[in-house]
Every structure is written in C-alpha cells, then in structure tokens.
Structure 1
Amino acid sequence: MSYQSDVHHRYAAWPKLRHTLAIIRQEPANLLAVLLLLLFSGIILAPVISVLLNAVLVQSGDEGRTAATEGTFTSWYLVRTLSSRMSDLLLWTPLLNTLAVAFSTVAGALVVGVALAWLINRTDMAGKRGFSTLLIVPFMLPSWTFALAWNTLFKNHAIGGQPGWLEAMGFQTPDWVAYGYFPIVVIMMLHYAPLVILIVGNALKRMDSQMEESARVLGASRAAIAFKIIVPLMRPALLSAALLIFADCIGEFALPYILGLPVHFDTLSTGLYRAIGTRQSGVAAVIATVIMLMGMLTLALDMKMLREAKRFVTVGGKGVMDRRSRLGRWRVVASALPLLFVLLGVVIPLLTLFLSTIMTLPGRFTRDNFTLAYWIGHHLDTVAMHNGILLTAEFWQAIGNTLLIVGSASVVCGVLGLLVGYAVMRSHSRWLSSALRQLTFLPYLVPGIAFATAFLSLFAVARGPVPALYGTPFILVLALIAEKMPYASRSGIAAMTQLGKEAEEAARIAGAGWFARLRQIVIPIQAAPLATGILLPFISGIKGVSLFVILATPATDVMTTYSLRLIDYNYQQAANAVVLMIALISWAGTVLIQKVTGTGLAESLEK
C-alpha cells in the first residue's frame, strides 16, 4: 500500500472511530459491557484456560519426572493419566464408576419422576395438592444430607468410629449396601427425581389431551397412546431432564466422598480431589479437563434439545383440554407411591439425622440414651470437640465465614447480574451482548469441582500485581461470584428484557445522568429480580461442597467443610447437627425466594 493510500485509509477510519466513541458516550451501556467483559474474562475465562494449560505445562516440582524445565510444554501428564500403568487408577476406573452412577441415576430418576409427575398432573389422586409441594423437598436439600442419614443407618465395621444403627441393633450390613455404587445411586435418584417431576410435570400440564381422546375414540390401546403419542411429545422434556441430571452427576463430590472412599469406590470428582491432595497438579488438571469437557458436551446437548423442542407443539389454542384420569376407588391407593417417596426422601432422612444428634450411642432407643449434649453439652468425652456445636467456637466461626463469604458473594452476584442484564439489553454492539451473555453462562457448563480446580491453578500463586489468594476468604468470594453468575445473569437479563427504555429516555432528556437513572429508575423497578439474583446464589452457595472443599482451609471453614471435617474425625452426631442447620437454612431460603418472586419452584425453573 502506497503512502498516500495509507494516509487516506487512516483519515477515512477516523470519522468511524469518532462516531463509535460518540455512541459509547451517549449510551454508557456499551462501556459497561466492555468493563464487565474484561472482569468476567479474568474470573471466569482465565481460570478455565489456566487449568487447560496446566495439563500440558511442567508444574513446579515435576522437573525431574518430566525431564523438562518448569513452564515448558510436556505430554507427560496426558500420557500418565491416559495411557500409563497408573491410568486405570487415575482416570479410567473413576470414569467408568462415574458413568455407571450417572446412567443408573438418570434411569432411576426418570422412572420414578415420570410416574410421580403423571400422578400429580394427570390424575385425581388423593392428596395431590400437598404432595405437589412435598415431592420437591428432596431437591431443596443438600444431596449429602441423605448420605449422612444413610451412613447413620447402614454404617458397618468396614471403617472406624461408631457403628450404624442396624449394626448396633445386631444386623450385619453388607459392604455393598453400606458403601459404594448402590447407596450413591439410590440417594442420587431420590435427590434428582423431583427435577424430573418439575420438568416433565410442566410439559404434561401444557399437553393438549385432545390427541389422547381422539386416539382412544379410534380404538387405540393404552400402550399405543403412551408410546406413540405421549412419549414422543414428552421426549424433549425427558431428554432435558436426563441431560441435566447426567451433568450434575459428573461433578457430584459429597456423596462419593462420604459413601465411596471408605471402599475405594472412586469417581472423577474424588479422583480429582485425591490428585490435588497428593500435589499431582498436572494430573489433576487432566482430570479436571475431562470433567469440564463432559459437562460442556452434556449441557450443549441440552441447549440443542431446548431449541429443537420448539418443533414439538404440546400446547393447543382455545380448545385445549386438560382432562385428568379418574381413578375412582384407586385414588387413595395411588397416593401410596408419592407417600413412600416422601417418607424415603424427606421424613426418614431428616428424622434419622435429628435422632442421631440426641443419642449417646447409635441405635439404642432407651430413655437414658437420649441427650442434648451434642447441641448444648459441656466437657464431651471426645478428643477434638469438648462442647456441643452450639457452644463450640469453630461452629460459630464457620457460620460467620459462611455468611460473610456466601453473603458478600451473593450480593455482588445480584448487582453484577442486573448490570449484565442492563449491558446485554442496552448495548448497541450485538457482538458485545452475545459475548457477555455466553461468558457469564460458561460456569454453568463446568462442574463445580473442576471450576474450583481452575481457580486454584490460577490464584494459588502470585501472578503479576495479583497476590496469592489461596487461604484467604477472597479466593472463595471470587470463585463463588464466578460460579454463581449464570443464576444472577439469567435473572438480570430476563428482568431487563421486560423493561422498556421510555422511563430512562425521559429522565435523560430531563438531565439525569446515567448513574442517577440506574439508581432511581432501573434498580427500584427491578427490586424483585435483584433480590432473586442475590437469593439464588446464596442458597446454592450455602449448601455447596465442591467449590469449598478444594479452596477452603481450616481458617476459612464454612458450614459444609466444617461438617466434612467432623465426618473425617468420626464425630457423626455433631456432623449431622451441622447438616440439619444447613438443610434448614436451604429450605427457608427456597421458601423466601418463592415469596419474593411470587412463584413456585416449578415456575422459576421454567423461565
């Protein structure tokens, strides 16, 4: 290019640049979108890239094994994890265990969930109004609530500490019942069946029953109607529920940790935890990459299914029929299945946990065996815990850390989520809006334990002006903000979609600046979505395990990690008491969300 043409090109580009800058000055949402994109690139994208690089870069202390200097490229970790003599122990056996648990959980949850969804939404079963709420409770509770209840009942002599109730009463519990694959699948099925009830139930409520009636009039059998009409129309909902459950199972940590490790039943999440604990950071990065790729692929398939679901029209027009099957004298009998589910998924686990906290010896139901010592007692006969949890400083410190870390992260999440919604909906750049929307959704595609590993790999050491954050509350706050942004940003974008520009334009013409418009117009109007954007991350963070178990230290213990440490010490009663407190807070928070939004859990999942 000649000098003259180069000068002409620069002068021609200058008006375009001035025009762009003028637009940015006129609409600050463009600049806000850029700033938010930079922020989330640092706390979401950079950790993910960091863990991917750690899988192919020589880590500190591995120079001798890899025969290369620190920071150079190597395939040693990939070879060791994927194809060495240790690969079965490090990856392939945990991967097979993870897939076995995930597929079995999906199958069981679908069978139970579809049956219960049908009874609730398409029959006149007795007591269905009460069951429609009670059946969702297991999904509100932390999954490891059930694991501790199972351990309290079925724990045997395979590991030390107090025996389970059954063994204390003289019944020998086999290992396959007490630990490993079977209890993990049963508990996950109980935990995730409510998700199927919600997703499939919503689809059933919107399905026009005229098609079924027409088929019945034409002489079709019940089996033909079920498999040729109902199942095809329900296919998007069924696949969506299956993929969401599968993605969650991949990253599940607490259940395999409590019920799998005692019998060396490793999954990908516990294998990753073990690799980090033995300072095999390169191997951990490879395992984390496998978990991330599986999670991303699964949820990408779910997003594709949601797009394809538009082809399955299950909602009619004015003539929609919502005819429920009349069960007649079987109305009461049909309620046995949901009643059994509520007993197994709510009553028995919570009652078991509570009774265990007021028993000196497990499984002995005599009057002299009941005590409140593990709640408010003094001078307990234990090595590391001398008082009940309500009188123990570490418990209150864990509560304080939980409220500080989870609370501050949730508030920041809610505000950032609203700002993301504002920037996405008000920005003039379609590329900026799309990039911001996708980037804030990225943590949803990465299982929690893999995301925690990514954060650890990036912020465990000082990098430029950023000091080492490991061992401080800041790394937990940052990680929570990043991990929970999909909830907050989704709430913010949905809220801003419904807010027009007229009020802001009138205020701008009247001379109000952007910050004044945001503070006096946008935030007051969006108060309920802002509260939701704060409460959803808070409830999810309160009962979270995967993120904290990697990033928390004894000084930054939260309630979940504190209870896990009590389990490691075999202080079962105290651990169960802490978990009951977490379950209570989680349930209360879920009810509060429903009060604030004016919707039930089912409606909130639809949006």
Structure 2
Amino acid sequence: MARRPVSWLAAAVVAVLVVLVLLPLAGLAGATVGPDADGAWADVVASPLSGALLWQPLGGSLLVGLGTGLLATLVGAYLAWVVVMTDAPGRRAVGALAAIPFALPSFAIALAWETVFRNDRIGGEPGLLAALGVAVPDWLAWGPVSVVLTLVAHYYSLSFVVVAAALTNVGGDVVAAARLTGASRWQVATRVVLPSVGPALLSGFLLAFAEGVSNFAVPALLGLPVRFQTLSTRLYGAISTGDAARGYVLSLVLVAVAGLVLLAGQRMTRGRSYSTITGKATRAQRLRLGPARWPLAALAWGIVVATAVVPGVVLAVSTVLRRTGSLDGGLTWHYWVGASDPSVAQGTRGVLRDPVVLDALGGTIALGLAVAVGAVVLATLASLALRALPRARALHATVSTLGYVPFLVPGVALGAAFIAQFGTGSGPLPSLYGTFAILVLAGIAASLPFALQTARAAFGQVSTELDEAAVLTGAGGARRFGRITLPLVSRGLANGGVLVFVTMVRDLSVVVLLVTPATPLLSMLTFRYASEGFTQHANAITLVIAAVAVVATLLARRLERRPDLETTR
C-alpha cells in the first residue's frame, strides 16, 4: 500500500477517534463552566447542597468500589487456585461455570437477589424468603451490603480469568526449586506463587473496582429504594430531572475517581519484575489436597452454583408465578404470552405479545450489531494504519491513548458526555439526542478498548513477511488486505465483534441517559418494569437478554473451535 493512502487512512482514523472520544469529554467539561452552568461546580463541591450532591454519593461509590474490588478478587483468586493449582474434583466444570456470571446482565443478578431477599421495607410483594416467613433484615435486602454482594457475584469472573491465566504461567520448576530448599506448602504459596501473580491480582481488583464504581443498574435497583446513592445514580437523577450542569460535574468526578485508581494501580507495578516463565519452565504442578480436596471443592462449587445457576433458576421460576415471590397463587404463563387482562399486572400483556417489548428486542439486536460492526471496522482500520506505519510513534501514541480513554470513563458519564456534545446542534454537527445514531456512536466509543485490543492482537499474529512476499508478486494494497490479511485475522475480529455485541446487548449504564420512547431497548425496559414493581415482566425480559447474550457467546465459542488457518512464515 502506498504511503500517501495509508497516511490519509491514519488521519481519518484519528479524526474519528477525536469525534468519538475527545469531543464528548471536552463538551462535558465545557458544559460545566459555560454560561448555562450557573455555578454548578460551586454548588456541587462547596455549598450546603454538596453533602447530598457529592460527598454522600462519593462515599457510596468508594464503598461499593472497594467492597466489590476486594471481595471479587478474593473469590476469583480462590476459584482460579482451585481450578489451576489443585486436584479438586470437578475443577474443569467449576472453571466453565465461573465465567458465566459476567456474561449475564448485572441487573439479572440484582433482580434475582430482590426476588429472594425482598422484604416489606418499601412495600410491594415480598420475596421468596419473606413469603416463607423468614424475617429478612433491611441491611441484607437493600442498601450497600446487597449492592456489593450482587456486584461481587457479577464481577468475580474478571478476577478469575485474569488470575487463572497468571497461575497457568507459574512453571512447575519454580515451585519445585522452592520445595528443594525446604519450603513448606504455605511458604511456597505465600512467597513464590502469590508474588508471581501479584500483577494479576491487582489487575483483577482494579477492573472490579472500576466496574463497581461505574455500575448504575445494581445501585439503582437495590440502593435507591432506601436512598443509598452512588455517583452514577446521583448524576442520573440530576440529568434526568433537568439539572444537567450539576450532573455533568458529577460525571467528571466519576471519571476522575475511576481514572485515578486505575492509574495508581499501573504505577504500583511499574518497574518491577514478576517473571516466572523461563526457557526451562515446566507445566504447573497441581497441589494434592488430600482429605481437604472435598470441602474446598464444595466451597468452589457452592460459589459458582449460587452465582451462575441459581440466579437463572430464580428468574425463570419467578416469571411463571401468578403472585410475586409466592407459590400460593399457582403458576401461569401470562407474563410471557398472556393477553391484556385488567386483573393482572394492571393490564400489561405478556412480554412475547407486547409490541413495545418486541420493538425493544429488535432495537437491542440492531444496536448490538451496529455497534459491533462499527467498532470492529474502526479498530480494523486503526490496526491496519498502525501496521503499515510502524515507525509513526505519534500515531501509535494517539491511537493507543484515545482507544484506552473510554475504559477510564464510566458508562453513565460517557452517556452524559454524548448528551453534552451531541444533545444540541453545534456547528456542522446536528442534534442527535433521541436518535438511534447517538446510541450507536456512544456504544462504539464505549467498546473501543475491547475492539481495538482484539484487532491489534489479531493483526499482530500475522507476519509482515506475507505482505512483503505479496508485494514482490505485484499485488496492490487493497488486494493484499482482502486476499491475505483479512482472511487470517477474520476469526479474531469476529470474536471481538461478538464480545462487543454481548456487552452492548446487556449494557444499561451507557444508554440509560440516551434512551427515549423513540428508541426503546430491552435493558431500559427491564429497569423501568423493575422500578414500577412489575417483577415478573422485568425478570422475563432479563431472561430474553440473557438468551441473546448466551447464543452470541456460543457462536463465538464455535468460531474458536474451527480449524486454524495455516500460514507460512
């Protein structure tokens, strides 16, 4: 490919990244100091209102983030140790189940929690335990404890995947050498294995912390009923009630909190060596647990069953109960296929017969596909430009930075940034609020870190010698890409697209501020039904979302099992 077309391609990629990432954040910051801001910073930070606007929600966010990060890392690391390092029975099945909770929407687990533990604190139909006569305390049914435990059940999968990969790379020779020196099992675990996976543990904590701080659905469903606020719920309330300037300030605070913690974590591991892979490394040795293998395996099984199996069963059963949380009223399929009946759920039809739900299903799938295609195409073009211009350091730095920034921006804050930038017409940019286009653009921006990382990894596996050989035969740039490079990276790009699709289908944080009646989505319908007390309808829609996500995930697994394409260096 000639240098000039590649340069134009690189410039176009950078321009798109600027529009998707830099302009919304700049618009968000500008909206907090513009003429319409009316002292928003002072009101939020230093006024009689700042306690309720900022400091209490900030404390709630930090409590949720730290609790989620610590517990999710502990649970994920324990499961990773059982699966990778021990001879516990059923460890492979534990490993498979441990990856499921993250594929489900976070509000699915929150709704399952509410279905089981809901009490009469806020009125409405009680949960299963309360219906059976069990007195569920308020601190367990609502508030920070229920929020943290629900988020841990959702996000421990992140720590599990990261730590399991690190434990796999702890060579058996390292452990054997430690044992030859007379080290006990405890000393090997605490002085050899644990330090070796230190970066993985930190990464798992940071990922879970950032996700916990930015999550909107779980605090909204389990915290707002008892006035437990986080920054995400507070800024949603501010913007949705017309107090946009203060909401934008809270968005910037949320971005700063998530960004500072992630950057601090990177500095903690900078300059340190955690090498465990050597030229003579052997496969990791499994620890023989002896009689302890059964109770440790039982604990691992209890965790994965409670988080990966029970929520789905609870949601499925609740959708066919005539009365919420009670078997006394009998069973019914009304909430799935029933016609409008004034005596049931205020005349609301079953989800599979409701045109609003069906429109939302089509809109959700269309949004997931559009975002997946857009993010993968943009990531492919960016990777192609970086591959063709390996010495363009400024380009590499710009693309890497702009592609990573959305990871630091919580979903609700990113949605607020798009409202600030594209909510009203500005210059050549029309007003996009209330359109499908703003949902797609925000989704692509939020998905950039995943798509770009996947695309760069896929392109990195293809040797440049193939391009050089094709050049000698006289093949042009477009032909080389279409006939050689694209077939070799297609599987990696497809997997990245499926990941983006699943994330977008189940996401609520990014779209919660952007969805309008003209652009219905399943995730927003679930939140609305749950907030209004239509538990069976909310749970049924959640199962539909989970089914779509699972089908897409199985498709990705099928792509991974296809025979590898053979290449010659």
TM-score category (smaller protein): over 0.9
* Aligned match for 2:360, one of 398, 408, 417: 398
Per the alignment, residue 378 of structure 2 pairs with 416
Per the alignment, residue 445 of structure 1 pairs with 408
Matched, 1:317 2:294: no
Per the alignment, residue 3 of structure 1 pairs with none
In the superposition, relative to structure 1, how do residues 415 and 323 fare at CA in structure 2: closer, same or farther (>3 Å)?
same
Matched, 1:487 2:450: yes
Structure 1: give runs of 5+ residues left out of the alignment: 1-23, 67-75, 600-607
Task: Supply the AA of the counterpart residue of 2:145.
Answer: F
Q: How far apart in 2 are the matches of 1:495 and 1:540?
A: 20
Q: What does 1:77-156 align with in structure 2 at a 5 Å threshold? A: 77-156=40-119
Once the two structures are overlaid, the 10-residue window that deviates more, 109-118 or 531-540, is 109-118
Q: How far apart in 2 are the matches of 1:316 and 1:26?
A: 40
Per the alignment, residue 514 of structure 2 pairs with 551
Q: What does 1:527-546 align with in structure 2 at a 5 Å threshold? A: 527-546=490-509
Task: Supply the AA of the counterpart residue of 1:389.
Answer: V
What's the offset of the Cα at 1:262? 0.1
What's the offset of the Cα at 1:503? 4.4
Task: List per-residue Cα deviations over 1:310-365 (Å, max 9, x = no partner).
Answer: x1112233253522121234433321111111221022211110110000013333
Q: How far apart in 2 are the matches of 1:147 and 1:384?
A: 24
* Aligned match for 1:370, one of 328, 331, 346: 331
Once the two structures are overlaid, the 10-residue window that deviates more, 497-506 or 445-454, is 497-506
Per the alignment, residue 602 of structure 1 pairs with none
Q: Is the 8 A contact 1:424 1:434 kept in 2?
A: no
Structure 2: give runs of 5+ residues left out of the alignment: 563-569
* Aligned match for 2:535, one of 559, 565, 572: 572
Q: Is the 8 A contact 1:30 1:426 kept in 2?
A: no
Q: How far apart in 1 are the matches of 2:160 and 2:522?
A: 30
Per the alignment, residue 310 of structure 2 pairs with 348
Q: What does 1:265-280 align with in structure 2 at a 5 Å threshold? A: 265-280=228-243
Matched, 1:433 2:410: no
Q: What does 1:245-284 align with in structure 2 at a 5 Å threshold? A: 245-284=208-247
Per the alignment, residue 10 of structure 1 pairs with none
* Aligned match for 2:525, one of 562, 568, 578: 562
Q: How far apart in 1 are the matches of 2:144 and 2:457?
A: 40
Per the alignment, residue 545 of structure 2 pairs with 582
Per the alignment, residue 566 of structure 2 pairs with none
Per the alignment, residue 167 of structure 1 pairs with 130
Per the alignment, residue 54 of structure 1 pairs with 31
Q: Is the 8 A contact 1:139 1:194 kept in 2?
A: yes
Q: How far apart in 1 are the matches of 2:102 and 2:496?
A: 19
TM-score (norm 1): 0.88
Q: How far apart in 2 are the matches of 1:497 and 1:205?
A: 23
- The CA RMSD over aligned residues, in Å, is 2.2
Task: Supply the AA of the counterpart residue of 1:33.
Answer: A
Matched residue of 2:327: which SS?
Answer: coil
In the superposition, relative to structure 1, how do residues 426 and 258 fare at CA in structure 2: closer, same or farther (>3 Å)?
same
Matched residue of 1:389: which SS?
Answer: coil
In the superposition, relative to structure 1, how do residues 432 and 211 fare at CA in structure 2: closer, same or farther (>3 Å)?
closer
- Number of aligned residue pairs: give it: 560
Once the two structures are overlaid, the 10-residue window that deviates more, 440-449 or 225-234, is 225-234
What's the offset of the Cα at 1:434? 2.2
Q: How far apart in 2 are the matches of 1:305 and 1:403?
A: 41
What's the offset of the Cα at 1:507? 5.0
What's the offset of the Cα at 1:565? 1.4
Q: How far apart in 1 are the matches of 2:124 and 2:552?
A: 34
What's the offset of the Cα at 1:580? 0.9
What's the offset of the Cα at 1:472? 0.8
Once the two structures are overlaid, the 10-residue window that deviates more, 498-507 or 244-253, is 498-507
Q: Is the 8 A contact 2:103 2:502 kept in 1?
A: no
Task: Supply the AA of the counterpart residue of 1:387.
Answer: R
In the superposition, relative to structure 1, how do residues 533 and 385 fare at CA in structure 2: closer, same or farther (>3 Å)?
farther
Task: List per-residue Cα deviations over 1:17-66 (Å, max 9, x = no partner).
Answer: xxxxxxx954522210001111111111100111112222232xx6xxx4
What's the offset of the Cα at 1:384? 5.8
* Aligned match for 2:12, one of 6, 12, 35: 35
In the superposition, relative to structure 1, how do residues 462 and 129 fare at CA in structure 2: closer, same or farther (>3 Å)?
same
What's the offset of the Cα at 1:217? 4.3
What's the offset of the Cα at 1:430? 2.3
Once the two structures are overlaid, the 10-residue window that deviates more, 505-514 or 180-189, is 505-514
Q: How far apart in 1 are the matches of 2:475 and 2:525?
A: 49
Q: Is the 8 A contact 1:124 1:327 kept in 2?
A: yes
Once the two structures are overlaid, the 10-residue window that deviates more, 483-492 or 449-458, is 483-492
Q: Is the 8 A contact 1:417 1:533 kept in 2?
A: no
Matched residue of 1:388: which SS?
Answer: coil
What's the offset of the Cα at 1:419? 0.8
Q: Is the 8 A contact 1:142 1:543 kept in 2?
A: yes
In the superposition, relative to structure 1, how do residues 350 and 321 fare at CA in structure 2: closer, same or farther (>3 Å)?
closer
Q: How far apart in 2 are the matches of 1:482 and 1:518?
A: 25
Provide the identity percentage.
35
Q: How far apart in 2 are the matches of 1:345 and 1:406?
A: 25
Matched residue of 2:512: which SS?
Answer: helix
Q: How far apart in 2 are the matches of 1:534 and 1:201?
A: 24
Matched residue of 2:325: which SS?
Answer: coil
Q: How far apart in 1 are the matches of 2:171 and 2:479?
A: 49
In the superposition, relative to structure 1, how do residues 553 and 160 fare at CA in structure 2: closer, same or farther (>3 Å)?
farther
In the superposition, relative to structure 1, how do residues 25 and 330 fare at CA in structure 2: closer, same or farther (>3 Å)?
closer
Task: List per-residue Cα deviations over 1:546-600 (Å, max 9, x = no partner).
Answer: 011110112211110011111122110010001011112222222322332349x
Once the two structures are overlaid, the 10-residue window that deviates more, 531-540 or 262-271, is 531-540
In the superposition, relative to structure 1, how do residues 236 and 170 fare at CA in structure 2: closer, same or farther (>3 Å)?
same
In the superposition, relative to structure 1, how do residues 531 and 379 fare at CA in structure 2: closer, same or farther (>3 Å)?
same
Q: Is the 8 A contact 2:172 2:283 kept in 1?
A: yes
Matched residue of 1:546: which SS?
Answer: coil
Task: Supply the AA of the counterpart residue of 1:337.
Answer: L
Matched residue of 1:365: which SS?
Answer: strand
In the superposition, relative to structure 1, how do residues 347 and 500 fare at CA in structure 2: closer, same or farther (>3 Å)?
closer
Q: How far apart in 1 are the matches of 2:196 and 2:466?
A: 43
Task: List per-residue Cα deviations over 1:397-427 (Å, max 9, x = no partner).
Answer: 0011112222112112111111111011112
In the superposition, relative to structure 1, how do residues 294 and 362 fare at CA in structure 2: closer, same or farther (>3 Å)?
same
Q: Is the 8 A contact 2:371 2:504 kept in 1?
A: no
What's the offset of the Cα at 1:214? 4.1
Matched residue of 1:549: which SS?
Answer: coil
Matched, 1:157 2:134: no
Runs of 4+ in 1 over 6 A off after TM superposition: none
Q: How far apart in 1 are the matches of 2:192 and 2:436?
A: 54
What's the offset of the Cα at 1:209? 3.9
Task: List per-residue Cα deviations over 1:488-510 (Å, max 9, x = no partner).
Answer: 11122122223344444555565
Per the alignment, residue 20 of structure 1 pairs with none
Q: Is the 8 A contact 1:91 1:287 kept in 2?
A: yes
Once the two structures are overlaid, the 10-residue window that deviates more, 34-43 or 277-286, is 277-286
In the superposition, relative to structure 1, how do residues 384 and 440 fare at CA in structure 2: closer, same or farther (>3 Å)?
farther
Matched residue of 1:360: which SS?
Answer: strand
